Amino acid sequence: MKGVILAGGKGSRLLPLTKITNKHLLPIFNRLMIEYPLNTLLNSGIREILIISGREHAGDFIEYLGSGKEFKAKFTYKVQEEAGGIAQALALAEDFANQKPITVILGDNIFDPRFKIPSFEGGARIFIKKVKNPERFGVPVMLKSGSTSSPLQISKILEKPHKAPTQYAVTGLYQYNYQVFDIIKNLKPSARGELEITDVNNSYIQKGLLTAKAINGFWSDAGTFPSLTQAIKWTIKNS
């Protein structure tokens, strides 16, 4: 299994901290943000990793992370010429994936270091987490299952709904088969002019090919000042 870290975007919600650097190069306690999703992949046995960033700071990622030798891994880099959404950035991983399944993680997602990404064979899988403010995220509409041990069933995902139907948020961790690149090629930009990862996931749902897994332990994005602070506090407490 290969891994992809999406570390582009302008980080406008963290201005002025991101005025001269990429959001994912900000510190979370004693490490830069990018190391946390990187370690989530590495700790799960994923050693071939593509890092996608914007052109302004691509060299900074290479300077900091290098070839991957220090991490006993192999890193590849690609540049997203302009911010056009998560799905647009993911499209750059098509050649890297080489028609095989991939695990994708957003560069501002902080997972409990004890979390291990499970093996994956096909279709698509999302990871969801119960949160206090699901309206900030993609929110899954859950179908009732026959028992608590039954697989989670999702009928659709709502992107940042005004009123969330559940307390669950879709985290920035996804697993896809190679079909994801054909889906992205047929996406239309959203109202904000971007290719949305929620539309990718909903396409898999419509095909009956998406599964969901609820995760335990800590998870937070670090893309706003409150969530960045939360991630720093948790990391300091648990270091």
Burial of 133 (0-12, 13-18, 19+ CB in 10 A): exposed
pLDDT of res. 146: 42
Q: What is the CA 225 to chain-centroid distance, rounded?
A: 18
Backbone angles phi, psi at 55, to 5 degrees: -70, -30
β-bridge pairing 2-7 and 74-80? unpaired
Separation between Cα atoms, residue 40 and residue 75, nearest integer Å: 15
Domain that holds residue 182: 2-238
**Distances in whole angstroms, Cα of residue 170 to Cα of each of 87, 159, 208:** 15, 9, 18
β-bridge pairing 168-176 and 124-130? antiparallel
User: For the domain that residue 123 is a member of, what is the CATH number?
Assistant: 3.90.550.10
Separation between Cα atoms, residue 151 and residue 68, nearest integer Å: 36
Cβ proximity of 205 and 225 under 8 Å: no
pLDDT of res. 182: 97
Domain count, the chain: 1
β-bridge pairing 138-143 and 210-214? unpaired
Provide the H-helix boundaries in the chain. 35-42, 58-65, 86-91, 94-97, 179-185, 197-206, 225-238
pTM of the model: 0.94
Provide the H-helix boundaries in 32-92. 35-42, 58-65, 86-91
Cβ proximity of 40 and 88 under 8 Å: no
Which tokens sit at 59?
């060299």
pLDDT of res. 144: 59
Separation between Cα atoms, residue 102 and residue 121, nearest integer Å: 10
pLDDT of res. 101: 96
Which tokens sit at 172?
């920035």
> Which segments of the chain have a pLDDT < 70?
144-151
Sign of the CA dihedral running 73, 79, 84, 89: negative
Separation between Cα atoms, residue 33 and residue 223, nearest integer Å: 10
Which tokens sit at 45?
């046995």
